[in-house]
Amino acid sequence: MRRAGGRGWRPAVAALALLASAGCADTPADPGRELRDLGAPSSAADDHTHPPGTQSGDGHDHDAVTTSDTLPTWEPVDGLSVPRDDFATAVVDGEVWAMGGMTGERGNRLTSIEILDTSTDAWRTSDVELPVGLAAFEAVAIGPRILAFGGFDADSVPTDFAAVLDTRTGRWSDLPPLPHARYAHSVTLHDGEIHVIGGRGPDGPVSQVDVFDPVRRTWTTSDVPMPSVRDSHDTVSTPDGLLVVGGWLGDGPTDRVDLYDPATGEWTAAPPLPVPMSRAGVAVADGRVWVSLHTTSYVLDVDERDSWEPANAISLSRHGLGYVQVSDALYAIGGCAENPLRDVRTVDRLALA
């Protein structure tokens, strides 16, 4: 297994300045600032409040709480053992794997993995760990295997990390390195291939779309780059293609939403978010695209894609959270909260049936 700085990693040769939008930060994002996490570990019982009119490291101003009389309400469930944000998630056999991320002062990288049994909503700590501490990376599951790509390492450089975990044996194996090192990107399984979109690399925003074939274990790069290249966005698979939602564009969060059809290489505009969002949680469930950030949540009909409608906000205002669909429920996991700024253990569940 390669280690950080090893032959297969190709990290940047010098430390890279990171948008403060990737971390628990106390000021609006500034491209000249290094990754920071000023949040101290939270207590076991996080304060479930929505402080209005505050601003956090994702640059998102929030002064209202969205609600819906027709959509379900989020409810807190058993929390993480370790407060964390900007971690990767994957779902294997109805269990959610929360992997790595960062916690504590200056964003200490984590190698630990926690697993949520959604049949009981109880967490356990895995004996398996990441081979290296990473934040702002992403993962997908194919059967019993979890494939993880990219990220920001302990030396604050973007990596070309690529590895697969066999959850049956607990063994990590190398994959061919990510063609373009990056962090704060998205990794999405669509039509049997894994698409790595956006993010930031050693030279700034990464426009190239790298595509991994998990059967042949080979990479290709799309001929069509990402328009309005950005980081800290989310990407979900829909019947019509990949929906790229929000993110950090230029000097701040954006409401931009794009639909990308890998079969044709065509990018088209989709209905914009009601408010700019960066480092939100996005998932597809119950025929809708769901998005949550701080005190706002919205849904978009997958088929009609007319406009976003308000939904009920998560129980604790936060960003940099995990956000996954399992069976008939959505889970909002961990993240960075405010007042005071800190990484949290909070987990919310939204029952869809």
User: Could you report the per-residue pLDDT of 85-136, keeping only the tens digit for each?
Assistant: 999 999 999 999 999 999 986 669 999 999 999 999 999 999 999 999 999 9
pLDDT tens figures, 30-69: 322 223 232 333 333 343 333 333 334 555 555 689 999 9
pLDDT tens figures, 122-181: 999 999 999 999 999 999 999 999 999 999 999 989 999 999 999 999 999 999 999 999
Residue 122 lies in a domain: yes
Q: What is the pLDDT of residue 106?
A: 60
**Coil vs helix vs strand at 85:** strand
Task: Decide if 278 contacts 49 (C-beta within 8 A).
Answer: no
Task: Decide if 337 contacts 348 (C-beta within 8 A).
Answer: no
Higher-pLDDT residue of 17 and 139 is: 139
Beta-carbon count within 10 A of 80 CB:
24
Residue 188 lies in a domain: yes
Q: Which helix (H) or strand (E) holds 336?
A: strand 336-337
Residues spanned by the domain of 148:
79-282
| Phi–psi pair at 95, nearest 5 degrees | -115, 140
Q: Residue 206 sits in a domain of what CATH number?
A: 2.120.10.80
pLDDT at 324 over 60: yes
How far is the C-alpha of 349 from the C-alpha of 78, rounded, in Å? 10
Q: What is the pLDDT of residue 339?
A: 81
pLDDT tens figures, 246-264: 999 999 999 999 999 999 9
Which band of pLDDT confidence, cut at 50, 70 and 90, is reported for residue 226?
very high
Residue 139 lies in a domain: yes
How far is the C-alpha of 183 from the C-alpha of 287, rounded, in Å? 29
pLDDT tens figures, 204-219: 999 999 999 999 999 9
Q: What is the pLDDT of residue 28?
A: 30
How far is the C-alpha of 313 from the C-alpha of 346, rounded, in Å? 14
Higher-pLDDT residue of 223 and 31 is: 223
| Phi–psi pair at 197, nearest 5 degrees | -125, 135
* Domain count across the chain: 1
Residue 154 lies in a domain: yes
How far is the C-alpha of 153 from the C-alpha of 183, rounded, in Å? 9
Residue 183 lies in a domain: yes
Task: Decide if 230 contacts 257 (C-beta within 8 A).
Answer: no
pLDDT tens figures, 264-320: 999 999 999 999 999 999 999 999 999 999 999 999 999 998 999 999 999 999 999
Residue 288 lies in a domain: no
Nearest Cα to Cα of residue 310 among 74, 50, 70: 70
Residue 198 lies in a domain: yes
Which band of pLDDT confidence, cut at 50, 70 and 90, is reported for residue 187?
very high
Beta-carbon count within 10 A of 15 CB:
12
Written as six digits, the tokens of 26 are: 């106390």
Please, which residues have CB within 8 angstroms of residue 203's CB and are 6 or more apart in sequence? Answer: none
Beta-carbon count within 10 A of 119 CB:
10
How far is the C-alpha of 163 from the C-alpha of 131, rounded, in Å? 9
Query: Cis peptide leading into 340, omega within 30 of 0?
Result: yes
Nearest Cα to Cα of residue 8 among 204, 149, 155, 133: 149
Q: Which helix (H) or strand (E) holds 301?
A: strand 296-301
Length reported for the chain: 353
Task: Decide if 53 contacts 63 (C-beta within 8 A).
Answer: yes
Residue 336 lies in a domain: no
Enter the pTM of the model: 0.86
What residue has token string 């490291």?
57
